[in-house]
Amino acid sequence: MKTTKQLLGSRIKELRRNGGFSQDQLSEQIGIDPKHLSRIELGKSYPYVETLEAVAKAFHVELMDLFDFTHLDAQIIEKRQIEDLLEGLSQDKLRLVYKVVKSIAK
């Protein structure tokens, strides 16, 4: 199981890659050394709160979204977790979810 530091680093790396940034580009935008960003992404160093705020701003997400890394932790997904996510969805959204799951399950 990964540590919180490693999961946070992986989450930042995930956001950076999804945003199309290199480490150099992101580190310049948030005002830190690229080597420090590398250490953060590898889970070897915790970022300062100001750095976290800058990262969140760079990706247009809330600060708490940086800590939404449950999908990065290797864990067993139980059907109940999926059912909880589906509760309260409209019929249109449920149809869409069904189509996606059906295509994946094939």
39: confidence class by pLDDT, cuts 50, 70, 90: very high
Write out the E strands in the chain.
Answer: none
Average pLDDT over residues 86-91: 92
| C-alpha torsion 30→33→34→38, nearest 10 | -90
Are 16 and 38 contacting, i.e. CB atoms less than 8 angstroms apart? no
pTM (predicted TM-score):
0.67
Output the pLDDT for position 70: 77
Distance, in Å, from the CA atom of 15 to the CA atom of 99, rounded to the nearest integer, reads 27
Q: How is 72-89 classified by DSSP, letter by letter?
A: GS--PPPHHHHHHHHTT-
Q: Reduce the DSSP state of residue 42 to 3 states and report it.
A: coil
Output the pLDDT for position 43: 94
